[in-house]
């Protein structure tokens, strides 16, 4: 299961894993999500991470799950003094609470498969980035949840992926906030991050990749 798979890194992750996995593409129903699913022969799964109360009924049919990839996320560019409480609430709701809620509901299915939970984190989850106050805080929290899950669920593999800046629409918004010209060639491609993530997922069963840090050259 991949969250946020309608485009960008999520769609690239789906492309990278389609040859080796049966895909559940989770997210709010949309034409873009349907297009990715149609191209790969995948199944869409209507999950709204901003509505954790609805998640149990949605995922209840899943009894075994090999891999859960938390890719969905939101970011509101802004330094601390520029942010609002509503932005913090929205960021934490999707980036942290939604990921926690989905993981908790899928724990029995993951345990049944001795599965793997992957968190697409960020360099901002290791070192806070200027102008990304609420986003950085949410990624630090997500890293803490991943570490706790790894410690408390020894039958699972848990990996945090911390890429540097990726050439995505989110990146364009951040560069515009910074008042600079956007050049996708300066950043990691979504295909590169997807391939690195797929390598961690497809590692031999006796390997447990705790953390992946990848930066643009």
Question: Of residues 35 and 182, which shows the higher confidence score?
Answer: 35
Angle between the 85-92 and 133-152 helix axes, to the nearest 10 degrees? 30
Q: In the prediction, which pLDDT does 129 show?
A: 85
Question: pLDDT tier at 135 (50, 70, 90 boundaries)?
Answer: very high
What amino acid positions are annotated as catalytic residues? 135
- In the chain, % helix, strand, coil (3-state, to 5) comes to 50, 15, 35
Beta bridge partners of 3: 26
- Tell me if 216 is assigned to some domain: no
In contact, 149 and 103? CB cutoff 8 Å: yes
CATH number for position 69: 3.40.50.720
- Tell me if 214 is assigned to some domain: no
- Tell me if 97 is assigned to some domain: yes
Q: Which two tokens stand for residue 8?
A: 């960008």
Q: Tell me the average pLDDT across 167-191.
A: 83
- Tell me if 134 is assigned to some domain: yes
Answer whether residue 60 shows pLDDT above 90.
yes
Which of 172, 190, 189, 168 lies closest to 181 in space, CA to CA?
172
Q: In the prediction, which pLDDT does 170 show?
A: 79
In contact, 155 and 114? CB cutoff 8 Å: yes
- Tell me if 13 is assigned to some domain: yes
Residues contacting 132, CB < 8 A, separation 6+: 75, 77, 78, 124, 174
Answer whether residue 56 shows pLDDT above 90.
yes
In contact, 22 and 14? CB cutoff 8 Å: no
- Tell me if 215 is assigned to some domain: no
- Tell me if 217 is assigned to some domain: no
Residue 64 belongs to domain spanning: 2-206
What tens digit of pLDDT does each residue of 6-29 get? 989 999 999 999 999 999 999 989
- Give the least confident one: 38-42, 112-116, 171-175: 171-175
Question: pLDDT tier at 167 (50, 70, 90 boundaries)?
Answer: confident
Q: How many domains does the chain have?
A: 1
Q: In the prediction, which pLDDT does 217 show?
A: 87
- Tell me if 137 is assigned to some domain: yes
Answer whether residue 94 shows pLDDT above 90.
yes
Question: How far, in Å, CA of 163 to CA of 29, rounded?
Answer: 27
Q: In the prediction, which pLDDT does 69 show?
A: 98
Which of 217, 176, 194, 143 lies closest to 7 in space, CA to CA?
194
Answer whether residue 179 shows pLDDT above 90.
no
Answer whether residue 93 shows pLDDT above 90.
yes
Residue 128 CA, chain-centre distance (Å), reads 18
Answer whether residue 182 shows pLDDT above 90.
no
Question: How far, in Å, CA of 37 to CA of 33, rounded?
Answer: 6
Question: How far, in Å, CA of 2 to CA of 72, rounded?
Answer: 8
């Amino acid at each position: 299961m991949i969250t946020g798979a309608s485009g960008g890194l999520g769609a690239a992750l789906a492309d990278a894993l389609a040859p080796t996995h049966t895909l559940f593409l989770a997210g709010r129903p949309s034409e873009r999500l349907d297009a990715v699913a149609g191209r790969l022969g995948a199944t869409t799964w209507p999950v709204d991470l901003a509505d954790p109360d609805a998640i149990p009924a949605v995922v209840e049919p899943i009894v075994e799950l090999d891999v859960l990839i938390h890719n969905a996320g939101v970011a509101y560019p802004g330094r601390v003094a520029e942010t609002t409480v509503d932005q913090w609430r929205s960021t934490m709701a999707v980036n942290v609470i939604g990921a926690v809620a989905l993981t908790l509901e899928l724990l029995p299915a993951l345990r049944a498969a001795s599965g793997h939970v992957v968190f697409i984190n960020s360099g901002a989850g290791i070192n806070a980035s200027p102008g990304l106050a609420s986003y950085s805080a949410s990624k630090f929290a997500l890293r803490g949840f991943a570490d706790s899950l790894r410690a408390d669920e020894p039958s699972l593999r848990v990996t945090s992926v911390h890429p540097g800046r990726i050439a995505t629409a989110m990146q364009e918004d951040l560069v515009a906030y910074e008042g600079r010209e956007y050049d996708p060639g300066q950043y990691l491609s979504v295909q590169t991050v997807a391939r690195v993530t797929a390598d961690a997922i497809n590692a031999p069963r006796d390997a447990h990749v705790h953390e992946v840090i990848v930066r643009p050259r």
